[in-house]
Amino acid sequence: MIAIVIVAYNRPEPLKRLLDSVSKGIYPDESIDLIISIDKSDNENIEKIAHEFVWSFGQKTIIQHESRLGLKKHILSCGDLTYQYENIILLEDDLVVSPAFYLFAKKVIGISDQKKQICGYALYSPTFNEVSFINFQPLNAGSDYFLMKVPCSWGQIWTREQWHDFKLFYVENNSIEDILPPTIASWPSEKSWKKYFYSYMIKNNKYFLYPYLAFSTTLGDPGENLGFFNSSIIAPLTLSNNLDEFGKNEKDVIYFDEYFEIETHSLKKLAPQLAEYDFTVDIYGSKNLKNFNCTYAISLKTTSKAILSYDFHYYPFELNLIYNCVGFFFSLAHKDSFEDIEPETRKIFIRGSDYHQFQKAIQDSYHKGLNNGIKMASETFKKSLSFRIGQLILFPFSYIRKVFKKV
């Protein structure tokens, strides 16, 4: 049994939109429970919408909380419904789902229930790196899904066992910030259930399973932890319901870590020239390399002692290493030889509106014998008209960074 759990608060129009998309789902010939859990608010329309919604595929249950829980406690209470329903699909009220979302849930639990390292299944396919605050495109080597040490909050599936293991951790752990990426550690613990799940995954080497095609997406509506419309997190929904072959190429599954970086063992399989090195991947430049138990790193940070260096002609960025694209942007070097770069410089590199101009500035600086090529190139690029135009276009991302710190 897989029950559908809707998490509602004070957003009537998004709730109606979600319920409409759920009503258009493709369901097997069996009774399916729908639970609408409503947190206490002053908006009477929420309860009215829930009661008037017609659910034709099984029993509908409405949970009306008499006091305000807040998002964190509300999600935790909904997760506890796994003890009653065994498996749940949890959907917050700012989401919409693909017609095949329920078929996907049944399929993904069936093919992966033996994998102890998986602590949840995502309907959503991430488009945004919450650690580095840039767009995210996961590398695909032929599988239908990838595994990442990042929890999903925009459409997820939990089994009773998965949720129970997390709740044991949650009850026993109060201090969690020490192992989290700095941006995640800055989220307020009193509001974020996801922060605790993040820590649980890192400490226990657990992964969420993410599909490359999205079966749910947020539509970026303002809410408790995000106070403005945000289009960068909207994923393209798949309309396909052909899941017969889903999960057949499990040998090609790629693993990503808590920084949205490809894990070393996955990269070594695809880039054999790196097999002899003990390294961590820091393509986005967000890691404090001193905290990692390895000898080398592959990073966009500056170093004058590169063993191997790569360009960034390809996207996703890992392809530059896989295709051995020689250049001056990503370097393999001893982890202690890298210099930290300012967030602004990293942002210019990743989001630069004119890669070729930035590349030329890097090469010019390099050939002049400058060890700090990226720093010099970023200063050159800042003066260009294309950068100034890019800054206007990308201004919302700077605001996103500030807001996400409050999640």
Using one digit for the tens of pLDDT, what is the confidence trace for 195-206? 999 999 999 999
* Residue 106: pLDDT over 60: yes
Q: Are 42 and 160 in contact (CB under 8 A)?
A: no
Q: Where are the domains of the chain?
A: 2-256, 271-404
- Quickly state the pLDDT bin for 398 (edges 50, 70, 90): low
Q: Which of 175-184, 296-305, 322-331, 368-377 has the lowest mean pLDDT?
A: 368-377
Q: What is the mean pLDDT of residues 134-147?
A: 94
Using one digit for the tens of pLDDT, what is the confidence trace for 304-348? 999 999 998 899 999 999 999 999 889 999 999 998 876 555 555
Does the domain at 2-256 match CATH 1.10.3720.10? Answer given as no
